[in-house]
A and B are shown apart, each in its own frame.
Chain A
Amino acid sequence: MAYTPGNPGTKLDKNFENDLLAIADTKLVLGNWYAECVMNGRSLPDFAAILGMCTANYGHTRAIYQYLAAHGHDYDHLERGRGPEEMCSANLLDEAPSGWEDFIVSTWLTELSTWMMASGFLNHEDRAVAGIAKKIGQETYFHLKYSQGWFQIIGEGKKQTSLFQKAYAHRFPLALQWFGPARGKDTVHDAGIRDVPLKKLRDAFIKEAAGAEKLLGADLTQEKSIKFADDWRGDARRFGAMPDGLFEVVRFKDAELAH
């Protein structure tokens, strides 16, 4: 999707930039997840669907990088100039999926959480930002539906349901952690850049995530108290650096061909 800057050149609020970068980097990793896992697809039409979700997420990342580039950042640096310690993707996606059920749980929680965060900018004063948020919403609609289709299939299998529950118990806290400490500061909202408080988005995420129980036909455990250790980087919405193995997948290769 092409980005037309609404108000290019102006400097952005630092915390707002961080939020955008967290969404963009998480979607970059998510796009790579789809690319790496597409051949694990379980039917011919799913191959096409997974690749469709892959391109959509890459597109969202690109649109956000372009927006940031229109406001003082260097696009090339954003795309391929950063090391693993500078990446701002959710810890949720650090560890490779252990199986199909984990893949469905992880991609779904990522789609849902990034959309929740982006939805906070639907009424942003810059039409460009609102436009990106709207586009993310329109495309994520299908990605979430894909997950819902799979919840039903998984829910019909006993072993598969238990694998789903296990993956959910493991990944949900990492998804929730991405929203930051429950009583943390909400500077982007306070500054009037996001009209919805983070707490409201976080609560909506919790509620939506729990909604999977109905389609799955089984209970899901939601760990609501997340411990934030010392190396939590609020600006990047993650702990520590991106693991080397994942960074090797995500980093852009063949730099001399970049254009």
Chain B
Amino acid sequence: MATKLKSKKKIDQKRERGGAEPKYYEVFARKDSHSDLSHVGSVEAPNDELAQVRAWYIYDQHKWREMCVVPLESIITVTEEGKSAKIKMG
């Protein structure tokens, strides 16, 4: 890096990102009792606790009635087999 930095952050990939490869969680939420549980987005987190909190603060556009996170690795594709993204944004 050409720009000199006094104290650059040193991120430990393995500890802070959950392994050699970053770990993702998919976020699902339900707006109210009349709404379906929908996929609302995705977060990167090294453990379940941070995934829960990060999802809560990033996808806070509604006062969700229900929210859950699912590790991306647990998702089994039906139509998207072999595609570069198992589950899409939005």
Which of B31-39, B40-48, B72-80 forms contacts with chain A? B40-48
Which of A11-19, A42-50, A239-247 forms contacts with chain B? A42-50
For the A-B complex, the count of residue pairs with Cβ-Cβ distances under 8 Å equals 64
Asked whether B30 is an interface residue with its Cβ less than 8 Å from the other chain, the reply is no
| Chain A 127-159 residues near chain B, CB threshold 8 A | 142, 145-146, 148-150, 152-153, 156-157
Contact A142:B53 (CB < 8 A) given known A153-B15, A156-B15: yes
Asked whether A97 is an interface residue with its Cβ less than 8 Å from the other chain, the reply is no
Assess whether B49 is in contact with A152, with CB atoms less than 8 Å apart.
yes
Which chain B residue has the least Cβ–Cβ distance from A40?
B9
Assess whether B16 is in contact with A45, with CB atoms less than 8 Å apart.
no
Interface centre among B12, B16, B44, B60 (most CB of A within 10 A): B16
In the docked arrangement, what's the CA distance between A153 and B11, Å?
11
Assess whether A45 is in contact with B45, with CB atoms less than 8 Å apart.
yes
Contact A149:B56 (CB < 8 A) given known A42-B16, A156-B15: no
Interface string of B41-83 (1 = CB under 8 A from A): 0011111111111101110100000000000000000000000
Asked whether A84 is an interface residue with its Cβ less than 8 Å from the other chain, the reply is no
Nearest-Cβ distance from residue B16 to partner chain A, whole angstroms: 6
Asked whether A234 is an interface residue with its Cβ less than 8 Å from the other chain, the reply is no
Interface centre among A43, A48, A150 (most CB of B within 10 A): A43
Contact A48:B9 (CB < 8 A) given known A43-B16, A156-B15: no
In the docked arrangement, what's the CA distance between A230 and B63, Å?
48
Asked whether A52 is an interface residue with its Cβ less than 8 Å from the other chain, the reply is yes
Contact of A52 among B49, B52, B57 (CB under 8 A): B57
In the docked arrangement, what's the CA distance between A142 and B55, Å?
11
In the docked arrangement, what's the CA distance between A145 and B11, Å?
21
Contact A45:B11 (CB < 8 A) given known A146-B49, A153-B46, A153-B47: no
Assess whether B53 is in contact with A49, with CB atoms less than 8 Å apart.
yes
Assess whether B12 is in contact with A150, with CB atoms less than 8 Å apart.
no
Residues in B neighbouring A45, C-beta threshold 8 A = 43-45, 50, 54, 57-58
In the docked arrangement, what's the CA distance between A24 and B46, Å?
33
Residues in A neighbouring B16, C-beta threshold 8 A = 42-43, 153
Assess whether A43 is in contact with B47, with CB atoms less than 8 Å apart.
no
Contact of A46 among B14, B48, B54, B60 (CB under 8 A): B54
Contact A42:B44 (CB < 8 A) given known A48-B57, A49-B54, A150-B50: no
Assess whether A145 is in contact with B52, with CB atoms less than 8 Å apart.
yes
Nearest-Cβ distance from residue B32 to partner chain A, whole angstroms: 18
In the docked arrangement, what's the CA distance between A117 and B16, Å?
32
Which chain B residue has the least Cβ–Cβ distance from A152?
B47
Assess whether A149 is in contact with B45, with CB atoms less than 8 Å apart.
yes
Residues in A neighbouring B17, C-beta threshold 8 A = 43
User: Mind listing 5 A-B residue pairs with CB under 8 Å?
Assistant: A43-B44, A49-B54, A52-B56, A149-B47, A152-B49
